[in-house]
Copies of this chain bind each other. A is one copy, B any other.
């Protein structure tokens, strides 16, 4: 789910940011497990997917309860008091990136509404690429929106659907929706988990002492002690009731899946299983592909911590060049320190990363990072290595050049700020001042995730950020371009506040 008003929120850091993680649990009460407490722990394991806001909704058989907060899960849901506000055997939650302030709080999920058919709560990972258009149509009919979230469109479509059952209403609503969504829905009758027909965003299912659990990544199951069962298939709707009965539906028929390949590259935790494959092994394999595609003579392989470590181990094992921690990462990050003087070298990168001089001095090094987005961090790290005495710095990137924005729930800078959106390889090398620069090829990436290469006729993954090949129409983007041309007033910005 994204904030309609800030589709291109610029980055503080220099990484693409997955925008959400979701978790759900429904039980029969037999195991004595506390649904909300389990949900909090599961979301904590998904904290890397969204660090600015968190919410949990529970249902106790009669009423729904919601609690939300800005900041981390541990800040909002670790205490007994907070969990006590969320009774019942069913709960679902959401972590997200968020704009701050009062308006932001209304956008914190799960969203909840009292419909004529009863309570309806939804947690959404993804982005609806025609939300703006759908919203305008709903407002014309008298609908009043409370948030600026695209997710609320789904609720209004469900509320006004004429189908009799909740599953039918939901399918009816989602037929009008275009884009990416992994949803966990709660109603007084149970839980529904589903993924869009292309399965762009991830969603997995597990079992915990007789309770059914859903999560964005398998690492959440490890943390709560659940067993991983399988992923929800693209286009699949899984319905679970309070007796534990599980029914599955494929209302959109057979479709060719396009899951997000960047989950392998960076978003998912290395200890998760994504699309039936170990993320850690995928990353190591990318490093090995890189060592084959772009070998170099050097003394040390140095990862940019922490996300570059698995690929660096792969590169080291393939090349035989020793793996060393040439950069040490601080665990204490403070973004806004006042600069003591005018020295430009001692910047935010220096507070987060420090060269391990004793190791680096006098050496030829291969730096491994997972991706390059705007390139500013890469430049600083290359300089840091040279300042520490490295004689050569070769930069290797464990993904292809990122030259296109994402409209499926990932926070990407505008194309003009993406290094690969405005430069070719030689210019990029020049920009980051490395002795050499190489990215893994798109086919190398596909090989690293266990395929023979990219099937260009019918790609196995969504790789639009590398290729610009978007698997859905982008209706709002087209509308927005039109509006900007007409200097129209903002539409749908405010809501029932």
Question: Which single member of B80, B146, B340, B493 contacts A496 (CB below 8 Å)?
Answer: B146
Assess the A322–B332 pair: CB atoms within 8 A.
no
Assess the B142–A143 pair: CB atoms within 8 A.
yes
In the complex, whether A487 has a CB less than 8 A from a CB of chain B is no
In the complex, whether A219 has a CB less than 8 A from a CB of chain B is yes
Residue of B nearest to A161 (CB): B142
Question: Which single member of B145, B273, B351 contacts A358 (CB below 8 Å)?
Answer: B273
Assess the A44–B334 pair: CB atoms within 8 A.
yes
**Complex CA–CA separation, A230 to B181 (angstroms):** 57
A65: min CB distance to chain B, Å: 9
Contact with B along A62-81 (1 / 0, CB 8 A): 11101110001111011110
Assess the B72–A334 pair: CB atoms within 8 A.
yes
**Which of A33-41, A421-429, A477-485 is the contact stretch?**
A33-41
Residues in A51-99 with C-beta less than 8 Å from chain B: 51, 62-64, 66-68, 72-75, 77-80, 83
In the complex, whether A350 has a CB less than 8 A from a CB of chain B is yes
In the complex, whether A265 has a CB less than 8 A from a CB of chain B is no
Residue of B nearest to A39 (CB): B340
Assess the A32–B338 pair: CB atoms within 8 A.
no
**Complex CA–CA separation, A312 to B267 (angstroms):** 27
With A73-B334, A155-B496 already in contact, the answer to whether A325 and B270 are too (CB < 8 A) is yes
With A116-B140, A496-B112 already in contact, the answer to whether A317 and B322 are too (CB < 8 A) is yes
In the complex, whether A111 has a CB less than 8 A from a CB of chain B is yes
Contact with B along A249-273 (1 / 0, CB 8 A): 0000000000000000000011101
In the complex, whether A396 has a CB less than 8 A from a CB of chain B is no
With A113-B495, A332-B72 already in contact, the answer to whether A350 and B32 are too (CB < 8 A) is no
**Complex CA–CA separation, A91 to B357 (angstroms):** 27
A335: min CB distance to chain B, Å: 8
**Complex CA–CA separation, A271 to B359 (angstroms):** 9
Please name all residues of chain B whose beta carbon is closer than 8 Å to the beta carbon of A11 when the two chains form the complex. Answer: none
In the complex, the count of this chain's copies comes to 4
Residue of B nearest to A309 (CB): B325
Contact with B along A114-125 (1 / 0, CB 8 A): 111001000000
Assess the A354–B113 pair: CB atoms within 8 A.
no
Assess the A80–B338 pair: CB atoms within 8 A.
yes
**Which of A220-228, A286-294, A400-408 is the contact stretch?**
A220-228
Assess the B489–A332 pair: CB atoms within 8 A.
no
In the complex, whether A438 has a CB less than 8 A from a CB of chain B is no
**Complex CA–CA separation, A332 to B324 (angstroms):** 25
Please name all residues of chain B whose beta carbon is closer than 8 Å to the beta carbon of A152 when the two chains form the complex. Answer: 496
Assess the A336–B78 pair: CB atoms within 8 A.
yes
Contact with B along A327-347 (1 / 0, CB 8 A): 010111111111111110110
**Complex CA–CA separation, A114 to B491 (angstroms):** 9
Contact with B along A121-159 (1 / 0, CB 8 A): 000000000000000000110111110000010011001
Please name all residues of chain B whose beta carbon is closer than 8 Å to the beta carbon of A222 when the two chains form the complex. Answer: 350, 354-355, 357
**Complex CA–CA separation, A105 to B350 (angstroms):** 30
In the complex, whether A376 has a CB less than 8 A from a CB of chain B is no
Question: Which single member of B225, B325, B337 contacts A346 (CB below 8 Å)?
Answer: B225
Please name all residues of chain B whose beta carbon is closer than 8 Å to the beta carbon of A223 when the two chains form the complex. Answer: 346, 350-351, 354
Assess the B144–A144 pair: CB atoms within 8 A.
yes
In the complex, whether A100 has a CB less than 8 A from a CB of chain B is no
Residue of B nearest to A278 (CB): B358
In the complex, whether A47 has a CB less than 8 A from a CB of chain B is yes
**Complex CA–CA separation, A338 to B42 (angstroms):** 12
**Complex CA–CA separation, A112 to B83 (angstroms):** 32
**Complex CA–CA separation, A335 to B75 (angstroms):** 10
In the complex, whether A164 has a CB less than 8 A from a CB of chain B is no
9 other contacts beyond A74-B333, A113-B496, A116-B140, with CB at 8 A cut-off? A31-B341, A45-B354, A63-B493, A78-B335, A78-B336, A83-B338, A223-B346, A223-B350, A310-B325
Closest 7 pairs (CB-CB, A-B): A74-B334, A278-B358, A37-B340, A142-B160, A38-B340, A47-B332, A225-B346
